[in-house]
Amino acid sequence: LAKTTQPISMDSYEGQEVNITCSHNNIATNDYITWYQQFPSQGPRFIIQGYKTKVTNEVASLFIPADRKSSTLSLPRVSLSDTAVYYCPVGRRGRETGANNLFFGTGTRLTVIP
């Protein structure tokens, strides 16, 4: 299975840029890399996905090296509301015409300090 490995926790001051790394050594050729955010007592929420190089959206950037065995989520200028657990599940197609399955690791607990 394409499980992922991340730092257990990180602290950052408000207003700083935060980079969270993820290792996915068993990633397969057609797998995608995704990042999700989870607040306590809520389901995960999609942040960003990518296949290779760099992807940017309105909330984050995702950096993926050429070998694709790791990735880095970059959050610019974090605020207190960014305190959450961040997961980097590998995305893999479950069937020829259907589901896009996610394989989660244990996540990184980010704490933003005032």
CA 50, 73, 7, 82 dihedral sign is: negative
Does residue number 64 form part of the binding site for other proteins (CB under 8 A)?
Answer: no
Dig out the tokens for 104 from the structure: 């989660």
Q: How many residues bind other proteins (CB under 8 A)?
A: 28
Binder of other proteins out of 20, 44, 71, 82 (CB under 8 A): 44
Residues 57, 23: Cα–Cα separation, whole Å: 22
**Least separation, in Å, of the C-beta of 98 and other proteins?**
2
Binder of other proteins out of 27, 48, 75, 78 (CB under 8 A): 48
- Binding segment for other proteins among 10-18, 19-27, 74-82, 99-107 (CB under 8 A)? 99-107
Do 9 and 112 contact (CB within 8 A), yes or no? no
Do 112 and 79 contact (CB within 8 A), yes or no? yes
Dig out the tokens for 48 from the structure: 């960003």
Dig out the tokens for 90 from the structure: 């590998």
Q: Which is nearer to other proteins, 45 or 77 (CB)?
A: 45
Q: Which residues bind other proteins (CB under 8 A)?
A: 1, 32, 34, 41-46, 48-49, 87, 89, 91, 93-95, 97-107
